[in-house]
Amino acid sequence: MQTESIEKCGALRGEIRVPGDKSISHRSVMFGALAQGQTRVRGFLRGEDNLSTLTAFRAMGIAVEERPDGELLIEGRGMQGLSEPADVLDCGNSGTTIRLMSGLLAGQRFFSVLTGDRYLRRRPMGRVLQPLAQMGAQIWGRQQGQCAPLAIVGQPLKGLSYQSPVASAQVKSALLLAGLYAEGETRVYEPHLSRDHSERMLRHFGVTVDSFAGGVSIAGGQSLQARDLEVPGDISSAAFFLVAALIVPGSELLIRQVGVNPTRTGILDILRAMGGDIRCLDERELGGEPVADLLVRSSTLKGIEIGGALVPRAIDEFPVISVAAACAEGTTVVRDARELRVKETDRIAAMASVLQTLGVTVTTADDGMTICGQETFQGGQVDSCGDHRIAMSAAIAGLCAGTALTIRDTACTETSFPGFWPLLAGLRRQAV
Ligand code: S3P
């Protein structure tokens, strides 16, 4: 099992890039496959999750060339161009792959089976299967349709108006994909706006998607036209280095070409509210998505309260936000974040355990946690629980630990951030 050891370091300085956005990379393959014609994708994230999506589409007859310069060339075959996969489709650790594909496969003219690793097979699938069943989908899963593996017998679908109980882009996107194949209109309402990459990319491919207060709608029977795409850097990956630079005294980092879609920038709002000095430079647009260079300087942080609509806008960043909170003056309270319990692992329990090992006072609630900030951490040994974001958040906490922090089970960072450890090691080597 891979382990990493981190301890206190000097100021982090310089200019970095982070790999492409995971959510956008998944969608580039899915929508590119459904489009008519060739889609060229620059900046595709070659993380394990996205490779699961790529492999699944290849297994359904989609040709994808991976060029040496990292560009993907996807030969889209149109809305009815997928073919029945000869084997089970393995979604690995990827919730986005399995949930979005459930929606997409529900309306095909063939049979398919989706599964994943032991972590994914524990995660709730009922949230997509239940509304899909109302559209006419025939999908079976373990535990009364709650868990993968999922067996899908493609069916003609009908549109649905659905109020989602959770703000989830995976639920919304699964229903939009099924809605493309359904007769009539599909409307999805959500309690707070979740990330809108599907809506933006579908529009980029020529589909009409209507966004309104509280939801989104799509008419069935539309087709996609191939369009080139450029994937911005993933703000969820940049988040680790934003927090690193904030908490290590004297640091200043410039992170180039990061996606700053407003449905994803909760991390910037939260860190700024804590007193973090983060500037967005050279804001521009790339393939329908806003991007900027982020300049971050070490800052004295203070504890804040986080809840409500801000939560889905920073949902993947709470592990590293909890590290910032542990370094802040005063107490940080996170509420309304029950979703963290059903991510790659239970991220409330996992981060509480990491921070407690470091000597931080943390209490947990069903929907969040309370973290008392302090000046330094002690070292020790922590476990990633097989969750990429727990492993990377622990590494950032280690930068403030007085003695070495050992992190067990660190190969999982390949899920979303290939090259994380060398990038961090390079910055630490040059630390001043
Ligand atoms: C994602 C949506 C979010 C997020 C996940 C990626 C997506 O999940 O946590 O990492 O690409 O649509 P939920 O839809 O469960 O909130």
Q: What is the model's pLDDT at position 432? A: 78
Nearest to 255 by CA among 286, 296, 303: 296
The predicted structure's pLDDT at residue 377: 94
pLDDT of res. 431:
84
Q: For 22-211, CATH number?
A: 3.65.10.10
Query: How far are the Cα atoms of 33, 46, 58, 75, 92 from residue 66, in angstroms, in the given order?
Result: 14, 10, 12, 12, 20
Answer yes or no: is pLDDT of 132 > 90: yes
Rounded Cα–Cα distance for residues 49 and 53 (Å) = 7
At residue 289, the pLDDT reads 96
Rg (CA), the chain: 21
**What integer is the mean pLDDT of 296-306?**
98
Q: What whole-number distance in Å separates Cα of residue 263 and Cα of residue 38? A: 29
Q: Choose the residue to mutate in 315, 318, 392, 412 for probing ligand 1, maximizing ligand atoms within 8 Å of C-beta.
A: 315
- Indicate the class that CATH gives domain 3-20+232-430: alpha beta
The DSSP call for residue 330 is S
- The CA-to-CA distance between both ends of the chain, in Å, stands at 32
Cα of 170 from ligand 1 centre, angstroms: 5
**311 Cβ closer than 6 Å to some ligand 1 atom:** no
- With a CB cutoff of 8 Å and minimum separation 6, the contacts of 111 are 84, 151, 152, 153, 154
- Residue extent(s) of CATH 3.65.10.10 domains in the chain: 3-20+232-430, 22-211
DSSP assignment string, 55-114: HHHHHTT--EEE-TTS-EEEEEE-TT-----SS-EE-TT-HHHHHHHHHHHHTSSSEEEE
For residue 9, which phi and psi values (nearest 5 degrees)? Answer: -140, 170
pLDDT of 338 > 90? The answer is yes
Mean pLDDT across 72-82:
98
Cis status, amide bond into 232, omega within 30 of 0: no
Among 21, 22, 23, residue to substitute to test ligand 1 (most atoms within 8 Å of Cβ): 23
